[in-house]
A and B are shown apart, each in its own frame.
Chain A
Amino acid sequence: MSTINTKIEAKAHVYGDHIDTDRIIPGKYTKTLDLSTLANHVLEDLDPNFNKIVQQGDILVAGINFGCGSSREQAPLALKQSGVSVVIAEDFARIFFRNAINIGLPVLEIGKHNIQKGAELSIDLKNGKVTDLSANKTYAATKLPDIMIAILKEGGLVNYLKKNGTYTL
C-alpha cells in the first residue's frame, strides 16, 4: 500500500451528512478484500457516477458523522483504492476514523464548512489546515497527533508496526 503526502492539492467531491458505511461500500461487496472490486463500487448507492469521475488524488468532503454504521474496514479501503487522497468532514463516526488511520487514509475534521462541489482544495495534514482555493477561505482542522501522521506516512498501522516493531504514544 502506498504511502501518503502530507500536502495535498486536488478537487473536492462534496456529499452530505450521515453517510454510512453501507453507502460508502454496500454490504454485498464486503465479503472481499479485493481492492479493485471495492473501488468499482465505492459510493455507488450515493452517486452511481462517482467511480467514473473520481481522479487519483481527489478529495472527498462530507458533513457530519461520516462513516457511521458498521465497523467494516473495507469502507476506508474502498475510498483509498478509488483514488481518494483524503476525506474532510465536519466530523466522523469513530470506527471509520480509526479504521481510516489504520489503513492509511488521511481524515480531517473541520467543523461546519461551505465547500462546494468541484472546489480546488489545498490541504496541509501536518498543520491541520484546509484551504478552499476556489472560495479563498481557510479552515482550521482538528490537528492529527504526530503518531497518526507517522502511521499515515507509512501507509497504515500494519506497515508502521512492521517497520518499527512497536510504537509509543
Chain B
Amino acid sequence: MGMTITEKIMARNSGRDHVVPGELVWTDVHTVMTMDYLGKTCFDKFRSLGKTEVFNKDRVICVSDHLVPPPNQKFATMLNEWREVVKQHDITNFYDLGRQGIAHQIMVEQGHVLPGTISIGTDSHANTYGAVGAVGNAIGVTDAAVAMATGKAWFRIPKTVKFHVTGKWQPWVMAKDLSLHIMGMMNWNGHLLYKSIEFTGPAIESLSMAGRMTLCNMTVDLGAKNGIIAPDAITQRYLKDRAIGDWDMIASDEDAEYDQVYTIDISDLGPTVAMPGKLDDTVPVEKLIGTKFNKAFVGTCTNGRLEDIATIAKILRGKQVHRDVNMILVPASQTVYLQALREGYIETLIEAGVAVDTPSCAACAGIHTGVAGDGDIVLSAGNRNMTGRMGSKKAEIYLTSPSVVAASALTAVVTDPRTLSV
C-alpha cells in the first residue's frame, strides 16, 4: 500500500519505511520556530529539562511578531526579556524588530522550511509551511522546548483527506475564497479534526506560492493537523535562492489511501465572506452587497503578502478609500514591505488613503495596530472572526479576500470586486 505525502514525510523523518494512520512516531524536526509572545516561556521550559544548548543553533528560529513594535511598556519589557533569552542561547536566526515579519511568512520566505521535512512552531498557523511541501505543525511550548532540546517531536500519523481542485479561477477570486468556501462546505463539524489535508489538481498547480500559503495557512482553522501541496516547478522556482538545505520533489504515491476525496470545481467560485463570529458561516459576496462597515484590514500570515498588496493596489490605484472607512495595510514581513515599496504599491495605497504600518501580527492578535473597538464593523483579510478576536467583544468581524476588502473600502459597503471597472 502506498502512502500520502504526509505519511511519507512522517515515515522518512522517523526512520521508518512505512507508517499507517493512528501510529505514534517520534520524528526529527527540521526547524523549530518560536516567537516573542511565547518564546521566553519556551526557553524557560527548555532549561527546566536541564538543558543549556539547543539541538542546533541554526535550526531554532526566533521571530518577533506579536508584540512589535511595542505599543506599551509591558510589551517593551517582555521584548527585552525575549531578546535576552535568545541572545543567551546564541540563536543564529533571530528576526527581531527591523528584520521582522510574521513568523510563518519568515519561515517560508527565508527558506527555513523544506519539502519533505517537518517544521513546528508555537503558533497555530504553522500549517502555512505545507505550501512548499513540508509538514508544518503548530505545537505548544512543551513540544517546542522538547524539540529545542532533542530535535524531535511526537506525532500521531493523521488520516489524509484530499481536496482535488479543478477549473479556472475567476478574476479577483483568490485562494482565500477557496479556503472560506471549504470552511463553509465542511461546516466545521469535526470531519477534518486531526487529519491531514492535501490539495491537488490543476487549480492548485496554477496557484502562486502566496496563494498556496493562504490555503495551507487556514487548514488549522478547519481543525486539520496540516495542509500540504506537493512541490512542483513553482515551488522549485520559489525555493531556488531561499532554501537552506537539500530537498527533493516528494509526492503522494499513486496508490495512497485517502480517508475522503472531495472534488471542487472553482470555475463558479466567486468572492466569499465569513459572517461575524463563525468561520464556517460563509456566503457568496453577492448576499452581502450593501452591508455597511467602517474598518478595512489587510495583513496577517493569511493575506499580507506581495500578491495581496498588488491586488489591493490595483483596485485602489487612482481612487480614494471612502471617508467612512479606515483602512490599514500591514505587510507580512519587512521583505514584503520593501518589495511593495519598490513596486510602487505602497505609494499608490498611501495616495488612496490607506494607512500602512510596520510588519507584525497587528490587530489579528487583538493586541495592537488597529484593534477593534465597541461598535466597529471590520472587513478583514485575516484568518479568524470569533467574538473579541481583534479587540472589543462588541465589534463584528467579516472575513474575506484582499480584493473584496479593497473593492468595499471604496464604497464603505460590501462590494463585489468583479463589478468594478479597473
Check: A48 CB closer than 8 A to any chain B CB: no
In chain B, what residue has the closest Cβ to A70?
A: B124
Report the Cα distance A90→B223, complex, angstroms.
Answer: 14
Residues of A within 8 A of B49 (CB): 158, 161-162
* B140-A99 in contact (CB<8A): yes
A35 beta carbon closer than 8 Å to chain B: no
Q: Are A158 and B190 in contact (CB under 8 A)?
A: no
Q: How far is the CB of A54 from chain B (nearest CB, A)?
A: 23
Q: Are B142 and A71 in contact (CB under 8 A)?
A: no
The interface residues of chain A lying within 8 Å CB-to-CB of B24 are 145, 147, 169
Encode A3-29 as 1/0 by CB contact (under 8 A) with B.
000000000000000101010000100
Looking at A61-69, A120-128, A129-137, the stretch in contact with chain B turns out to be A61-69
The yes or no answer to B45 lying at the interface (CB within 8 A) is yes
**Are B142 and A158 closer than 8 Å at their CB atoms?**
yes
Q: Is A94 an interface residue (CB 8 A)?
A: yes
The reply to whether B138 and A65 contact each other, CB–CB distance below 8 Å, is no
Within 8 A of A (CB), among B90-147: 122-124, 138-143, 145-146
A168 to chain B, nearest CB (A): 7
**Residues of chain B with a CB closer than 8 A to A90's CB:** 190
Check: B225 CB closer than 8 A to any chain A CB: yes
Please measure, in the bound complex, the distance between the C-alpha atom of A168 and the C-alpha atom of B194, giving whole angstroms.
22
Q: Does B150 contact A (CB under 8 A)?
A: yes
Judging by beta carbons under 8 Å apart, are A71 and B223 in contact? no
Q: Are B388 and A22 in touch, CB under 8 angstroms?
A: yes
Contact B142 A27 (CB under 8 A): no
Chain A residues closer than 8 Å to B142, beta-carbon distance: 73, 99, 102-103, 156-158
Residue of A nearest to B126 (CB): A71
With a CB–CB cut-off of 8 A, which chain A residues contact B146? 102, 157-158, 161
CB distance from B47 to the nearest CB of A (A): 10
Contact of A33 among B41, B150, B154, B193 (CB under 8 A): B41
Interface: A46 (CB within 8 A): no
Q: At the interface, yes or no: A91 with Cβ under 8 Å from chain B?
A: yes
Residues of B9-41 whose CB lies within 8 A of A: 24-26, 37-38, 41
| A94 in contact with B194 (CB, 8 Å) | yes
Given A20-B386, A68-B223, answer yes or no on A169-B140 (Cβ-Cβ < 8 Å).
no
Cα of A22 to Cα of B385 in the assembled complex, Å: 13
Known: A73-B140, A98-B139, A157-B146. A91 touches B25 (CB 8 A): no
How far is it, in angstroms, between the C-alpha of A71 and the C-alpha of B140 when the chains are bound? 6
- A119 CB-CB contact with B under 8 Å: no
A64 near B123 (CB under 8 angstroms)? no
Q: Within the complex, which residue of B48, B124, B143 is in contact with A98, where a contact is CB–CB below 8 Å? A: B143
Which of B26, B74, B145, B194 is close to A158, meaning CB atoms less than 8 Å apart?
Answer: B145
User: B139's contact among A64, A65, A93, A95, by CB below 8 Å, is which?
Assistant: A95
Question: B366 in the interface, Cβ–Cβ < 8 Å?
Answer: yes
A92 to B190, CA, bound (A): 9
Looking across the interface, which residue of chain A has its beta carbon closest to that of B27? A169
A147-B142 Cα distance, complex, nearest whole Å: 16
Q: Is B78 an interface residue (CB 8 A)?
A: yes
Measured between beta carbons, the chain A residues less than 8 angstroms from B55 are none
When the two chains form their complex, are residues B140 and A98 in contact, meaning their CB atoms are under 8 A apart? yes
Contact B45 A158 (CB under 8 A): yes
- In the bound complex, residues from chain B placing their C-beta under 8 Å from that of A73 are 140-142
For the complex, is B238 an interface residue (Cβ under 8 Å from A)? no
Contact of B223 with A65 in the complex, beta carbons under 8 Å: yes
In the complex, which residues of chain B have a beta carbon less than 8 angstroms from the beta carbon of A169?
A: 24-26, 154
Cα of A99 to Cα of B154 in the assembled complex, Å: 12
Cβ proximity bits B148-182 to A, threshold 8 Å, 1 near / 0 not: 01100010000000000000000000000000000
Q: Which of A69, A97, A102, A147 contacts B124 (CB 8 A)?
A: A69
Q: Which chain A residues (26-44) contact chain B, with CB distance < 8 Å? A: 27, 31, 33
A residues within 8 Å of B by Cβ?
Answer: 18, 20, 22, 27, 31, 33, 64-65, 68-73, 90-95, 97-99, 102-103, 145, 147, 156-158, 161-162, 166-169
9 smallest A-B Cβ distances: which pairs? A73-B140, A102-B142, A99-B140, A169-B24, A71-B138, A71-B124, A169-B26, A64-B190, A73-B141
Known pairs A31-B74, A98-B154. 6 more at Cβ < 8 A?
A: A64-B189, A71-B122, A71-B123, A91-B193, A92-B193, A161-B150
12 A–B contacts from the bound complex (CB under 8 Å): A20-B386, A22-B389, A31-B37, A33-B44, A69-B124, A69-B384, A94-B194, A94-B223, A97-B194, A157-B143, A167-B26, A169-B25
